[in-house]
Structure 1
């Protein structure tokens, strides 16, 4: 797509309705995993969307059978043990979350399969999150050997309560679309063949409504997330600290080899 989105070559853009922009993670061959370039582009995108006078609402979804599988192995291995890359990733991770929170346009996520990592940030921080029944939501940071950073510490407890948040974030267990709706983690769960049409219907309603009322309501509600900024900053910093340790190397190797990880059994904390 030309204009302000021409530089975002790792993402797919179209306008399925007037003043509705659809953003699609477009690496279906890897379940829309996120490489370093995609991570950077995801971070900057929301600023341009906020400034685009032709866009009133946004849909985010994934090509093929997945929403986004999160960071790919090359991205994770490039971060592990590399202080400069860790610092850059930390900045991007913070900017991604705050840019979504501060984007004035309402965002609708259509979660059409597995959603993890940086992709899950967008899925759950969306103002309205719609999951298909075969959605599989998982925050697997501890299974990777790092703290649950990204947006987990601020958004999960607010959506589904602290007890459920701790259960899923500490264990790394997956949440189905139906269970995510039941516990309040997503706005709704719908049949997979209706997911995209319902997301478009929702976004169109937002795009044609009273824009000042919708945007100011979003701004006000997102103050709950802004108040949790110190919690988010700490969790993401601790995630990045984990990338400087040994557990993450074992976690990446275990994921590559499709086996259980053998992490160290103690921690000096």
Structure 2
């Protein structure tokens, strides 16, 4: 492994399955690849290293085990509720994660299996080519936790699957399978579970053998649709972080830990 990526080895297993193709494999299967404070930081800033690597043309993001990512771990969420500095750090990383993937010049291919939530889902759905196992379970659970859907959804879900579907799934935390996600246009392609990794590698290899400048220029130009949604996204992340100061977030986290439905106060000052 190149020294360029050594600092990210705690979160990712890193290899090169084809010439000029870098593969990042989230490597905490015993925790369903939930991201702790270190993992969230690595997921945010690895894209800068990839962008500057002259030996890489394409990157694959995938995961080991039966889940793509179970989101942020509860200890990190608890710290965000209790500590202002943790919220500010998370706010910066949350917006940097989205913009770093958007601005990374190298094409990104995601191979999404199992449960996909949180920061892992952010990267998976912002990939230029998102490939999902048909049985995968995609869900944005922010409002169930008691905070606004701020990770990424406001910048890309309305564009990918339309405002009506985005509101339905984001406000109700309604899960969908990989097949449903493809039907809605949220992902590029759904394949049989056992074909996921081979298909991702096939697509990445085709991209690596393509005209590099043409592909990067195309990505840059298309991602201006996301950049135009930047103000809406920035508001969503700020409102998410504001939500972590609320009694709703405290009750949402407590209900998760106690494995019960949350009991939110129906009154709101918003």
TM-score range, shorter chain: over 0.9
Which residue of structure 1 lines up, in the alignment, with residue 55 of structure 2? 54
Which residue of structure 1 lines up, in the alignment, with residue 269 of structure 2? 268
Moved over 6 A (4+): none
TM-score (norm 2): 0.98
What CA deviation, in whole Å up to 9, does each residue of 1:123-146 have, x standing for no partner?
Answer: 100000000011110000000000
Report how far residue 81 of structure 1 moved. Answer: 2.9
Which residue of structure 1 lines up, in the alignment, with residue 204 of structure 2? 203
TM-score (norm 1): 0.99
Which residue of structure 1 lines up, in the alignment, with residue 43 of structure 2? 42
Q: RMSD across aligned C-alpha pairs, in angstroms? A: 0.7
User: What is the distance in 1 between the residues matched to 2:257 and 2:32?
Assistant: 15
What CA deviation, in whole Å up to 9, does each residue of 1:203-231 have, x standing for no partner?
Answer: 00001100000000000000000011000
What CA deviation, in whole Å up to 9, does each residue of 1:231-258 have, x standing for no partner?
Answer: 0000000000001111111111111111
The answer to whether the Cα contact below 8 Å between 1:81 and 1:245 also exists between their aligned partners in 2 is no
Which residue of structure 1 lines up, in the alignment, with residue 239 of structure 2? 238
Unaligned runs of 5+ in 1: none
Which residue of structure 2 lines up, in the alignment, with residue 222 of structure 1? 223
User: What is the distance in 2 between the residues matched to 1:101 and 1:166?
Assistant: 23
Which residue of structure 2 lines up, in the alignment, with residue 2 of structure 1? 2
After TM superposition, list the pairs within 5 Å mapping 1:136-215 onto structure 2: 136-215=137-216
User: What is the distance in 1 between the residues matched to 2:146 and 2:2?
Assistant: 40
What CA deviation, in whole Å up to 9, does each residue of 1:12-57 have, x standing for no partner?
Answer: 1111000000001111011100100001111110000000011000
2:247 matches 1:249:
no
User: What is the distance in 1 between the residues matched to 2:182 and 2:67?
Assistant: 18
Question: Which moved further from structure 2: 9-18 or 232-241?
Answer: 9-18
Matched pairs, number: 269
The answer to whether the Cα contact below 8 Å between 1:82 and 1:244 also exists between their aligned partners in 2 is no
